[in-house]
Structure 1
Amino acid sequence: MLRQISLGSVGLVVGGGLSIVGFTAYFLDNATLNLVGFFYGIPLLLGGLALKAAELKPVPFSQPTPEAILSLREQQATSTQNQIRKDVTRYRYGQEAHLDSSLKYLGLDPSDEERPVLQSIREEAIDGSYALVLEFESPLIKFEDWQKKREKIERFFGPGLRVELHQSGSPDENRVDVTLIATPDAAGNTESLG
């Protein structure tokens, strides 16, 4: 639950409140509250502003995950799938986009302007196996380029995962689904994604 709370917003609210108390205390000649407001409130307010500027919001689920899929996740999800799901569904700081270092390594991030953007995720069962689907908006990288990288994507996120690529909607919509499917013997594999 704490992953869904913006530290920047908390810093702004707490720091702003303490700063207002400090300024009010200054005008009312209350030295103790004045010091609390200035020494704690202003740094917290500035820290909140800095975090808000470097904040990357969580990626939403495009559809609710049914109980049957949650049970399948508990049984079959690899540590890589769990790490990706947890990382992209929480606030991040100091990154330009979700999975930016992974996309760069895979050769799918030639520049900031061309980078595919992770829009949402969903969880499914495919042939009885747990699958995590990453839904990208990819206007400048063609689906054919994604397909050429499929084996490299599979090696990067594997072992224990099979990767399928699908172009969702019409070709003009520029949507690419990267489906990470757990293979039955895959539970417990770990990969650092950055």
Structure 2
Amino acid sequence: MLRQFSLASLGLTLGGILTVVGFIAYATGNATLNLAGLFYGVPILLGGLALKSAELKPVPYSQPPSSEILALREQQATTTQNQIRKDVTRYRYGQQAHLDESLQRLGLSPIDEERPVLVSLQETSINGAYALILEFESPFISLEQWQEKQEKIEKFFGPGIRAQITQPDEKRIDLALITVVEAQNSSV
């Protein structure tokens, strides 16, 4: 619940209200409210502004998961798939883009301007296995470059994950992180 709420918006709202109350109290001669409003309101307002400037919004779902997919997620999703899904669907602060460090370690982000941008995600079933599909805008990194990194992607996000890379249109890459069902069954 809280991961879907912007701390920056909370800071701006609360700080703004306290600051306005402080100014009104100053104008009406109420010293106690003036001090409380200004001494608490202004720093909270400035903190909210700082957070807003470093805020990274949650990635939306391109298709909301059905109840069948949610049940499949509960049964098959790996810890890594769950962590990725939780991280990209909440507000983040102080990062340039979602999964920026991961892309850099995989060699898919040579410079910030060429970094693929995660624009949406979806959860689905591929051949009976749970799949988390990360949908990237990738105008500078070609499908061939992504495919060269497929084994590295599987090792990076594994164990128990198989990567499938597709290109639905010229500037978009879909990275499906698919649960390897045999690996999960043998570990149980």
Verify same fold: TM over 0.5: yes
1:29 matches 2:26: no
Assess if the C-alpha contact under 8 Å between 1:159 and 1:186 holds in 2: no
1:174 matches 2:171: yes
Partner Cα separation in structure 2 for residue 157 and residue 181 of structure 1: 10
Partner Cα separation in structure 2 for residue 154 and residue 186 of structure 1: 15
Corresponding position of 2:54: 54
One-letter amino acid of the structure 1 residue matched with residue 148 of structure 2:
K
Partner Cα separation in structure 1 for residue 7 and residue 132 of structure 2: 27
Partner Cα separation in structure 2 for residue 122 and residue 85 of structure 1: 9
- Unaligned residue ranges in structure 2 (runs of 5+): none
Corresponding position of 1:192: none
Partner Cα separation in structure 2 for residue 61 and residue 131 of structure 1: 14
TM-score (norm 2): 0.96
Corresponding position of 1:151: 151
Matched residues, percent identical?
Answer: 66
* Structure with higher RCO (Cα < 8 A, 6+ apart): 1
More helix by share: 2
* SS, match of residue 113 in structure 1: helix
Equivalences for residues 1-194 of structure 1 within 5 A: 1-169=1-169, 173-184=170-181, 185-186=183-184
One-letter amino acid of the structure 2 residue matched with residue 100 of structure 1:
D
* SS, match of residue 141 in structure 1: coil
Assess if the C-alpha contact under 8 Å between 1:161 and 1:182 holds in 2: yes
Partner Cα separation in structure 2 for residue 186 and residue 143 of structure 1: 29
Displacement of 1:186 in angstroms is 3.4
Displacement of 1:183 in angstroms is 1.2
Moved over 4 A (4+): none
Assess if the C-alpha contact under 8 Å between 1:121 and 1:132 holds in 2: yes
Number of aligned residues: 185
- Unaligned residue ranges in structure 1 (runs of 5+): 190-194
Partner Cα separation in structure 1 for residue 139 and residue 81 of structure 2: 25
Displacement of 1:125 in angstroms is 0.4
Partner Cα separation in structure 2 for residue 93 and residue 22 of structure 1: 29
TM-score (norm 1): 0.93
